[in-house]
Amino acid sequence: MAKLIDGQAIASDVREKLALDVQKLKEECSVPGFAPGLAIVQVGSRSDSNVYVNHKIKAAAEVGINAVHVRLPKSISQAELLLEIQKLNNDNSIHGIIVQLPLDSDEKLDSDLATNTVLPEKDVDGLNCINAGKLSRGDLENCFIPCTPRGSLELIRRTGMEVKGVDAVVLGRSKILGSPMADLLKWNHATVTTCHTRTKDLASHVSKADLLVVGVGVPNLLKGEWVKPGAVVIDCGINVIPDATKKKGTKLVGDIEFDVAKERAGWITPVPGGVGPMTVAMLLANTYDSARRSAANFKSGPWNISYLPLDLKDPVPCDLEVAKAQTPKNIADVAREINILKDELDLYGNKKAKISLSIVKRLETQSDGRYVLVTGITPTPLGEGKSTTAVGLSQALGAELKRNVMTCLRQPSQGPTFGIKGGAAGGGYSQVIPMDEFNLHLTGDIHAITAANNLLAAQIDARMFHEATQKDEALYSRLVPDKKGKRVFSDIQLARLKRLGIEKTDPNSLTEEEVRKFVRLNIDPKTITWNRVIDTNDRFLRKITVGQSPTEKGKTRETQFDISVGSEIMAILALTTDMRDMRAKLGKIVVASDMDGNPVTADDFGVGGALMVLMKDAIRPTLMQTLEGTPVLVHTGPFANIAHGNSSIIADKIALKLVGSDGFVVTEAGFGADIGMEKFFNIKCRYSGLVPNVVVLVASVRALKMHGGGPPVTPGVPLPKPYVEENLELLGKGFCNLRKQIENVLKFGVPVIVAVNSFATDTQNEVELVKKLAKENGAFDAVICTHWAHGGKGAKDLAEAVIRATDVPSNFKFLYDLQMPMREKIKTIACEIYGADDVEFSDEAETSMDRYIKQGFNDLPICMAKTHLSLTDNPARKGAPTGFTVAVRNVRASVGAGFIYPLIGTISTMPGLPTRPCFYDIDLDPDTEEVFGLF
């Protein structure tokens, strides 16, 4: 007589253990309120399906799994069904999804399409073709096994049978049971024969089986006398047959003649009470497994990341040639390696992707990594390799030292890309790839900023025109039109009414005076600070006249274009922390003052919401990679000479969470430490709340020689003789600039490491002199770097120095208090950071400052717009001058972004093209579509 395999008891045992595992997972997960989540999608309301669903929900609750029953009407279309499944795919609280079959629908629905729409990692039924494929190939650790086969294997093991080597017969070939059961037994080393209802001489096959698993849905198909004596028999069939002895007139039976088979078998499952309870238990087990893997994404630890080898050439080819010689990883693989979930990734092809802001919520309890800022001395027009050093340092920390590391860089503007400087992806063997995509449109963020900026500019002139050509009532009728006998204020108009102190919501209830206040912005044209922008160097747009068409009725005014990356909207994007914060900042943009001296904002023009819509994708950072396969977040691109010169707070915060407490985030500040770094500390750190651990200050021998009195360095012209021959005297004189920048870093209480970016023309004596002088003047360390020629290997010493420096607590402090008078804050920066004796304000600057102070903007930080080629306001003055005065010619306010920006000297917010721009060398191969000549 066979022993009965009690599926009820075994399933109960499985659920009890599962409940303990779920509780432990909840306690250990760093996310408050974390719990495994199961979604059951049911179309229609078949009574048998209702019973199954309710049973699953009850069982889930017993073990601590949150089960959601998604009821869908019988009338649902295929597209609507797939959309509902996609919503669950994108829900981070759902770890398992099952589609209850059969689909009870009035429409013709494809159940296979539905189950294949479920993400493989949430397919706890194991019906997705990817999971089925992995199971068929034996990849059992990386797939979900369908619940009934998994439960059947557990029942087999509970009998004490060792599956390895036994002769097994699986009767049935369905996708749900037979085929996956045969695969599962095969990869557990059984010798498996698959039979079905059309198998010839079925009895002879069955009679040889030590293990028999049956599931065809035909009552009593398998005769009891066919069973081999002592065999283990798993009957997965469940069939309803007539039985007059039962109250319902029916009974449940399996596919095997149970009464005869139990006389021959060693072990056998009853029906009901055998496999059925195990199916539900395994559904819960699969859901727990999925949740456990998901919870692992919330834990910090070393990434399982692959690095790309470099094929170093000597001499080093041009940057674009180096970049094209490397084959990047698929960006989805990069994301997976650093624990970014699929639903947090929007692919832009295979080499770049946008990161969803939902990742911030998922990682909010994660500890931050170490924060490294790369800045530089006052550069030559060629640049001294700040971005290259940031990339090389990251490659060294990752590929060489195997630390979690992310680089956060700005998106290049088309201005320098096609103008004088060229690309900004790094250089040599320390680059972001694909280099051409990085330097061109990328994911279109700068275009979105341009569109938003110019929409606001268009509305300013249009509103001034309409106010000048219409009476109050006509304006009111157009601003709040009567639609089918009803007038309604929009939300943005209601907000404006509140700012005006008008607590009314009915458009028909406003008095004539209230209507006048509402419709009249009364812009003072002389105070307009909002300019149109374009992402091209175009000197002839530095002053223009608008409104010259006859249709504008003589409403002309002088204005100008700025470069797009200088737009306040770019600054807002870089300094915002989330969607809500960004919407508020866009609405607060002050574009002018009215005739009474009050600030007029983007929301007063009714355009704040539209700006947000244009920027909804731009707020998400773009994921890319370096030449050695370390991850990079590219986001925002403000210049440091006319804006605040740093990548976004959002990118830095995401990166710091992803790398974990032992990881590193390397970001760079534009141009020299006197502008980019100063703004990073005094503006970005104030709004982010992040504290830097160390500063890497990049210096080059050629720049120091220039500061020592060397001849001018001109792009496109070979370096003069003093720069390519050893000259220790010139180098020593120029060290004054590096000394001043070291001093500037130390004013903020942060340790500084000097990275001597070594070029082929440098001699050993020269780089050793820079290293020696830097240490003698307060640097934590000074390291010679060759990452341009050798990639991460050439920055390994720098990376080790950075690790040592971040082990020492920094004593970060701001340079000034926000409550200081505006003029005093400007003077503090000029005197403390630039080395000036005093500041001279023009009459126009004095008038602007008085206006902004009166409007309540004194307590904003300062963002100096100054030449990057000198510590002074004169780009021709090199070294570290003293005894000079900084000339402030005007002062503007970026209230939305949250800073005041003085215009220093002759700084222009619209660069111009040189005589020979970079674009002379740039073209596209029409056959291969490859870019060449970019840099």
Name the helix (H) or strand (E) containing 23: helix 7-28
Could you give the CA distance from residue 442 to residue 439 in angstroms, rounded to a whole number? 7
Q: What is the pLDDT of residues 855-898, one digit of tens each?
A: 999 999 999 999 999 999 999 999 999 999 999 999 999 999 99
Q: What pLDDT is attached to residue 365?
A: 83
pLDDT on residue 714: 84
The dihedral formed by the CA atoms of 566, 569, 574 and 575, expressed in degrees to the nearest 10: 120
Q: Distance (Å, rounded) from C-alpha 683 to C-alpha 899?
A: 8
Give the helix/strand (H/E) hosting 37. strand 37-43
DSSP alpha helix (H) spans, 470-567: 472-479, 491-499, 512-519
Both structure tokens of 669: 């500040």
**Residue pair 369/662 in contact by the 8 Å Cβ criterion:** yes
The string of pLDDT tens digits covering residues 597-611 is 999 999 999 999 999
256 and 238 in contact (C-beta within 8 Å)?
no
CA distance linking residue 445 with residue 622, whole number of Å: 10
pLDDT for 38: 97
Q: Where do we find the tokens 């990251």?
A: 394
**Residue range 711-718: average pLDDT?**
84
Full DSSP string of 691-724: ---EEEEEE-HHHHHHHTTPPPP-TTSPPPHHHH
Smallest Cα–Cα separation from 868: which of 697, 707, 672?
Answer: 672
The answer to whether residue 134 is catalytic is: no
pLDDT digits (tens, 9 = 90+) for 21-40: 999 999 988 777 889 999 99
Q: Determine the Cα–Cα distance for residues 67 and 93; give it in Å rounded to an integer.
A: 11
Quickly state the pLDDT bin for 249 (edges 50, 70, 90).
confident
Mean pLDDT of the chain: 93
Exposure pattern of 127-146 as b/e (b: 16+ CB <10 Å)?
A: bbebbbebbbeeeeeebbbb
Q: Can you give the pTM of this predicted structure?
A: 0.85
Question: Looking at 212-221, 302-311, 416-425, 854-863, which range is the least confident one?
Answer: 416-425
Residue 741: alpha-carbon gap to chain centroid: 32
Which structure tokens are listed for 164? 């390895």
d(C-alpha 767, C-alpha 647), whole Å: 30
Written as one letter, the residue type at 493 is Q
Tell which residue, 225, 288, 291, has the closest CA to residue 256.
Answer: 225
Amino acid code (one letter) for 590: V
pLDDT of the residue at 505: 94
Least confidently predicted of 107-111, 246-250, 306-310, 376-380:
246-250
Number of other residues whose CB lies within 10 A of the CB of residue 489? 18
HEC-encoded secondary structure of 728-796: HHHHHHHHHHHHHHHHHHHCCCCCEEEEEECCCCCCHHHHHHHHHHHHHCCCCEEEEECHHHHHHHHHH
Q: What pLDDT does 5 receive?
A: 96
CA angle 926, 929, 933 (to 5 degrees): 90
Identify the residue whose tokens are 């601590």.
64
What's the CA gap between 20 and 64, in Å, rounded?
Answer: 9
Tell me the CA distances in angstroms from 677 to 221, 383, 411, 883, one per residue in order. Answer: 80, 16, 18, 23
10-14, 562-566, 729-733, range with the lowest pLDDT: 562-566
Over 90: is that where the pLDDT of 817 sits? yes
Does the pLDDT of residue 87 top 80, yes or no? yes
Give the pLDDT mean for 469-487.
93
Contact status, residue 673 vs residue 375, Cβ threshold 8 Å: yes
711 phi-psi bin (left φ>0, alpha ψ -120 to 50, beta other):
beta
Q: What are residue 787's phi and psi, to 5 degrees? A: -65, -25
Provide the pairing of β-strand 557-559 with 544-546.
antiparallel
- Residues whose CB is less than 8 angstroms from the CB of residue 9 and which lie 6 or more positions away in sequence, other chains included: none
Placement of tokens 């307590």 in the chain: 859
Any idea what DSSP says for residue 540? Answer: G
pLDDT digits (tens, 9 = 90+) for 423-448: 667 899 999 999 888 888 899 999 99
Reported in sequence order, the residue ranges of 147-222 that DSSP labels E, i.e. its strands, are 167-171, 191-195, 211-214
Contacts of 200 (CB under 8 A, 6+ apart): none
Question: Tokens 């949250």 sit at which residue?
Answer: 898
656 — pLDDT class (breaks 50, 70, 90): very high
Specify the range with the lowest mean pLDDT, choosing from 217-221, 402-406, 580-584, 774-778.
Answer: 217-221
pLDDT tens by residue, 781-809: 999 999 999 999 999 999 999 999 999 98
Res. 923 pLDDT band, cuts 50 70 90: confident
pLDDT digits (tens, 9 = 90+) for 117-127: 999 999 999 99
**Percentages (nearest 5) of helix, strand, coil residues in the chain:** 40, 15, 40
pLDDT at 686: 96
Residue 421 has pLDDT above 60, yes or no: no
Pair 627, 310: CB distance under 8 Å: yes
Q: Please report which confidence band the pLDDT of residue 351 belongs to, taking 50, 70 and 90 as the band edges.
A: very high
- For residues 326 and 627, the answer to whether their CB atoms sit within 8 Å is yes
From 736, 715, 726, 724, select the one nearest 761 (Cα to Cα). 724
pLDDT of residue 423: 60
Residue 646's DSSP bridge partners are: 669
pLDDT at 420 over 80: no
- Tell me what the mean pLDDT of segment 176-203 comes to: 95
pLDDT value at position 717?
Answer: 83
Residue 682: band (very low, low, confident or very high) from pLDDT cuts 50, 70, 90 = very high
pLDDT score, position 872: 96
**Per-residue pLDDT, 320:** 85
Tokens 């669950």 locate to 88
Catalytic residue from among 17, 26, 56, 361: 56
Q: What is the pLDDT of residue 148?
A: 95
Give kind and range of the element (H or E) at residue 468. helix 445-469
* The predicted structure's pLDDT at residue 920: 66
In this prediction, residue 238 has a pLDDT band, given cuts at 50, 70 and 90, of: confident
In the chain, what percentage of residues exceed pLDDT 70? 98
The pLDDT assigned to 537 comes to 85
d(CA 544, CA 908): 15
Secondary structure letter of residue 876 according to DSSP: T
Q: Report in angstroms the alpha-carbon separations of 560 from 528, 543, 709, 909, 924.
A: 11, 4, 37, 9, 33
In this prediction, residues 131-136 reach a mean pLDDT of: 96
Residue 745 token pair: 């870093």
